[in-house]
Amino acid sequence: MTYIDPSPLKSADTHPAMLGSLLPPSGVLPLNFSPGPASLAAEVQAAIKALFDSERMCSMYLSHRSPEFLDILTSAVKHCRLAMNIPEDYEILFMHGGGHGQFAAVPLNLCPNGDEKATYLVNGTWSKRALSDASKYCRPFVVSSENQDGTFTRNPSFEHLDPESKYVHLCSNETVNGIELHQLPKLGIKAPLVVDASSDFSTKPIDWVGCNVGILYACASKNIGHPGLTLCVVRKDLMGSPSKFCPGVLCYTTNAREGNLWNTIATFNVEVVNIFMQWMIAQGGVHEMERRAIAKSDLLYSVIDKSEGFYATPIADPSIRSRMNIPFDVAGGDEETTRNFLIQGWERGIVGLRTLTPFGVGKYLRASLYNGVSMNQVEVLAAFMTEFLKTCRTQQ
């Protein structure tokens, strides 16, 4: 994927839609399709607001060692386990540092000597970045699907893995590239699977035992909460031998031993995750979240595929197209047509399709369809895309 430095864009075009603004004109309800941080479902937002309206002390300023917060923490662990069918031989940890922190935490916890082998399956931007950090703390064996031009349009092979690896790392959904593993693979080696599920956790079932999942981590701000907390699910037999250089804040053994209270936990964030998990269970659980993800993404891909090339997505294979993040271009990436599309969408409240990222601004826009995005909101986007296409074709 080709990226463009956003600084010239800023100086050349200062319209809010072109600068990634998420605030549409006054009085227009925003429909947030941003890649994250993302919105939460309306019912979850209402429950969070009620925390400040109740007579009890809100967890935002509740001591993390108070009995009141310990009840919240116990409830959050319970509902995470229930919602995602997490076996009892896995610890559920609420950690700091986001996904980037886990890029280092995984090898620091599993490679005590620093020279152990670990296989990295690279299928996009974030697995490539995880590899870069891990190379400081282990000896990565890399299996990549990167094309010569730097793009990613497929998954790497799962057949040629290093059998001596301490673990196999993969990213189950690449937000930038629009590639998703709809089911985790069952690998042919004994090494445990380590999954970066930051952008798809809670949107599909996980076969924890069958797929030999050793560690799964997910920053909260895509599907289960807001920035400042990372949920880590760690199989207990993998704890106990971290590197001597592993800081306590990243150490699974330390955090598990201290019951998530080695240092000050993100108290409010934990309660938000608890609220989300209870909402998810009430909605029908992870299978219902998966059904919604399929329905929402199918609708948008249908608009793209039926547009006769006016809209296009770089991922041709439907079996690996992301349900969470759909990259697409407008009129082959034509700058003026894309500008009109973004501005007209912004005026209707459709925001987040172009955001300024560390990678700059590329040819493709992105519609992110996390749990907090409703089917009705996707229908609004699909209708706008269809209408915009008809208008452009009429004017030709």
Catalytic residue numbers? 126, 196, 222
Sign of CA dihedral 311, 313, 316, 321: negative
d(CA 111, CA 168): 12
Query: Using a CB cutoff of 8 Å and minimum separation of 24, what contacts does 287-292 make?
Result: 287/205, 289/202, 289/203, 289/204, 289/371, 290/203, 290/204, 290/205, 292/371, 292/375
The one-letter code for the residue type at 294 is I
Residue with tokens 């990213």: 171
Beta strands in the chain (DSSP E): 3-4, 31-32, 90-95, 117-122, 139-144, 168-171, 173-174, 179-180, 193-196, 213-219, 230-235, 311-312, 325-330, 350-351, 361-362, 365-368
d(CA 73, CA 84): 17
Phi, psi values for residue 259, rounded to 5° = 60, 40
> What is the enclosing helix (H) or strand (E) of 101?
helix 98-110
Q: Are 279 and 192 in contact (CB under 8 A)?
A: no
Q: How many residues does the chain have?
A: 396
Q: Are 213 and 187 in contact (CB under 8 A)?
A: no
The answer for residues whose C-beta is within 8 angstroms of residue 281's C-beta and 6 or more apart is 79, 82, 83
